[in-house]
């Protein structure tokens, strides 16, 4: 059985994940000053990656339908954690982490996996009953997802909330939601965005949007991050300035250089060639995940792969886009590259789920 599972494994995905991790570790090592600097982040990142490998292998060995049966207790657990984290001490103005010694745990990251498993199961039930496009079914799915999203917004963590909504939209689209709901959702968003901007969003969130549209409004304040990131990306040119040689990176000018703006570090020190390779690797990874979703042996496997696809796509576009000034800054990490234990474990678990589907699929099947 084990031999059969690993024979059907998608080794292209595994290779891409390893390559992205290695690029990330090199960028972290350089951003922290190498052997003469702080190497603790590199050491922790390697430990988290290895823990993620163990977790992914464990997930691969389990039939993904078994995971699907655990969606309700996992959902209840994540709701409890999302409520409990609101009472923790704020870090950088957000109550998003549980501190465990020198480590921190971010439940909103793991919420993405739980919601992928749970939302896929709920959609599957409605799909089999042929009631997916009933208004009550749509409302039930929205309530299921928006409850944890509301708790995440309260932290506040708008970036993760946005990612979860992208996951939901992607899964509903693939499941075959009717266009009338899509049009209604687009109209609702068109109304909600300006209303939320005026009456709901806190001032710092409004500032991010304003500065995204025009960074020169506050070049030394809210616009500083975007301006410095764009300078770093542009200064790398074709081959990069070299490891430990990036001006923005090594002089401490580039903010959050190991997390949010790690792609700017790669662009500045490794150049256009390597930064383009990173983009190509992500595109291939997303294409492989989508292919597994198309060839899954059942609807549930297809839906959870679609959810992972939506998650990875949202992180990739938002993170790379914000370093170039094409997307607003939301603090979304770049999968497998940005420093962070919770994000690394979440992404590795997600890949484990996809590989679990891949190892049990059969060809020429798609959503019916």
Q: For residues 296 and 84, give the distance between their C-alpha atoms in angstroms, rounded to a whole number.
A: 37
Q: Minimal CA–CA distance to 225: which of 241, 212, 210, 243?
A: 212
What angle separates helix 107-128 from helix 135-153, to the nearest 10 degrees?
A: 180
9 φψ region: left (φ > 0), alpha (ψ -120 to 50), beta (else): beta
Q: How many CA within 13 A on the CB side of residue 260? A: 19
User: Tell me, what's the pLDDT at 362?
Assistant: 64
Q: What are phi and psi of 362, to 5 degrees?
A: -135, 150
User: Tell me, what's the pLDDT at 1?
Assistant: 60
User: Tell me, what's the pLDDT at 367?
Assistant: 46
Rg, C-alpha atoms of the chain: 21
Helices (H) and strands (E) in the chain, counts: 15, 2
Q: Is the pTM of this model over 0.85?
A: yes
Q: Give the tens place of pLDDT for each residue, 225-245.
A: 888 889 899 888 889 898 988
Q: Which of the residues in the chain have pLDDT under 70?
A: 1-3, 5, 204, 222, 362-368
User: Tell me, what's the pLDDT at 216?
Assistant: 74
User: Tell me, what's the pLDDT at 116?
Assistant: 97
CB 226 within 8 A of CB 216: no
Q: For residues 346 and 223, give the distance between their C-alpha atoms in angstroms, rounded to a whole number.
A: 30
Beta bridge partners of 99: 104
CB 213 within 8 A of CB 222: no
User: Tell me, what's the pLDDT at 36?
Assistant: 73
Q: Where are the domains of the chain?
A: 2-358
The structure tokens 């570090």 sit at: 265
């Amino acid at each position: 059985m084990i031999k059969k599972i690993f024979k059907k494994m998608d080794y292209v995905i595994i290779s891409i994940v390893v390559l992205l991790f290695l690029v990330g570790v090199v960028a972290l090592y350089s951003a922290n000053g190498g052997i003469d600097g702080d190497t603790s982040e590199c050491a922790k990142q390697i430990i988290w990656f290895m823990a993620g490998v163990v977790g992914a292998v464990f997930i691969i060995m389990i039939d993904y339908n078994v995971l699907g049966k655990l969606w309700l207790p996992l959902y209840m657990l994540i709701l409890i954690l999302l409520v409990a984290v609101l009472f923790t001490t704020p870090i950088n103005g957000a109550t998003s982490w549980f501190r465990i010694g020198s480590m921190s745990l971010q439940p909103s990251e793991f919420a993405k996996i739980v919601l992928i498993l749970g939302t896929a199961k709920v959609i599957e039930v409605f799909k089999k009953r042929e009631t997916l496009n009933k208004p009550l079914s749509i409302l039930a799915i929205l309530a299921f997802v928006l409850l944890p999203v509301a708790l995440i917004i309260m932290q506040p963590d708008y970036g993760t909330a946005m990612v979860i909504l992208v996951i939901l939209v992607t899964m509903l689209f693939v499941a075959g939601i009717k266009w009338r709901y899509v049009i209604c959702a687009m109209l609702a968003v068109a109304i909600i965005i300006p209303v939320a901007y005026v009456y709901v969003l806190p001032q710092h969130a409004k500032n991010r949007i304003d500065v995204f549209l025009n960074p020169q409004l506050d070049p030394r304040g809210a616009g500083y991050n975007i301006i410095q990131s764009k300078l770093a990306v542009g200064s790398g040119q074709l081959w990069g300035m070299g490891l430990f040689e990036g001006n923005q990176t090594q002089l401490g000018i580039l903010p959050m250089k190991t997390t949010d703006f790690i792609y700017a570090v790669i662009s500045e020190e490794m150049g256009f060639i390597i930064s383009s390779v990173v983009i190509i690797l992500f595109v291939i990874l997303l294409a492989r995940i989508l292919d597994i979703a198309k060839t899954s042996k059942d609807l549930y496997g297809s839906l959870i792969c679609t959810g992972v696809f939506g998650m990875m796509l949202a992180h990739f576009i938002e993170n790379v886009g914000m370093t170039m000034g094409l997307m607003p800054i939301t603090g979304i990490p770049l999968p497998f590259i940005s420093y962070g234990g919770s994000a690394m474990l979440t992404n590795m678990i997600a890949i484990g789920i996809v590989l679990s589907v891949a190892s049990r699929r059969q060809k020429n099947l798609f959503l019916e």
